[in-house]
Amino acid sequence: MTAQYTLTVSAADSVPQQTIVPVQQAPVQIDETTTYYAVAPQMGRAERRRLQARDFAARIDSLIRSHRYFFRARTMHELPAGREHRIYADFYYCAVAADHIELHLPIEQGSIRRLDVLNFDSMTLRDYRASRLQSGWEITFDLGHDDEVYHIELFVSTTTGEAQLTLVAPRVTMRYTGGLQG
């Protein structure tokens, strides 16, 4: 890490003066892809939609197989019969990487239904299983944090893109709906 500022003292002045030195960072590479469907005169609407559905499912398959994806939560509720809450903030997620999990999800705690946030990274990933089903993916794994085990079940539909994550924590079971991002 490079210094962002330097501190100099003039011999004639005992008051330090701050000189700000900007730190130049590497440019961010942004890749953008657009899928175009070449419409041949003989291609009908049904065939075009089948092609789009196949490509959509292939993108989800690719995300799951990469072991690098984000689940973004949009709704949450405590199981078995908690009240559903909409999640408007974009910073609630479960990020899956090949070697660790980042968990930043709200949970309901206690009899008064107080909202709290689980916020930790776990390098302890066990029993990761991803099974391709007819209509999507079912992913299960366990992760450890502070001598406690959390179990996660994630179902992702390759038809609609909806993802449903069930978190079994030591004192609460929560269900979230949302979507995946790469």
Question: Mean pLDDT across the stretch 164-173?
Answer: 91
pLDDT tens, 44-100?
888 888 888 888 899 999 889 888 898 999 999 988 877 888 999 888 989 988 888
Cα(35)–Cα(79) distance, integer angstroms: 39
Task: Say if residues 157 and 178 touch (Cβ distance below 8 Å).
Answer: no
Cα(32)–Cα(152) distance, integer angstroms: 31
pLDDT score at 33: 63
Other CB atoms within a 10 A radius of the CB of residue 139 amount to: 21
Residue 128 has pLDDT above 90, yes or no: no
Pairing state between β 114-122 and 124-132: unpaired
Pairing state between β 101-109 and 93-96: antiparallel
pLDDT score at 8: 57
Whether residue 80 is preceded by a cis peptide bond, meaning omega within 30 degrees of 0, is: yes
Q: Provide the percentage of residues in the chain whose pLDDT is more than 70.
A: 75
Cα(179)–Cα(88) distance, integer angstroms: 13
Cα(10)–Cα(2) distance, integer angstroms: 23
CATH topology of domain 61-181: Lipocalin (2.40.128)
Task: Say if residues 140 and 147 touch (Cβ distance below 8 Å).
Answer: no
Q: Which residue has the higher pLDDT, 157 or 40?
A: 157
**DSSP secondary structure of 42-69:** T--HHHHHHHHHHHHHHHHHHHHHHT-E
Q: How far is CA 58 from CA 52, 69, 159, in A?
A: 10, 14, 10
DSSP single-letter state for residue 12:
S
What pTM was computed for the model? 0.72
Residue 18 has pLDDT above 70, yes or no: no
pLDDT score at 78: 87
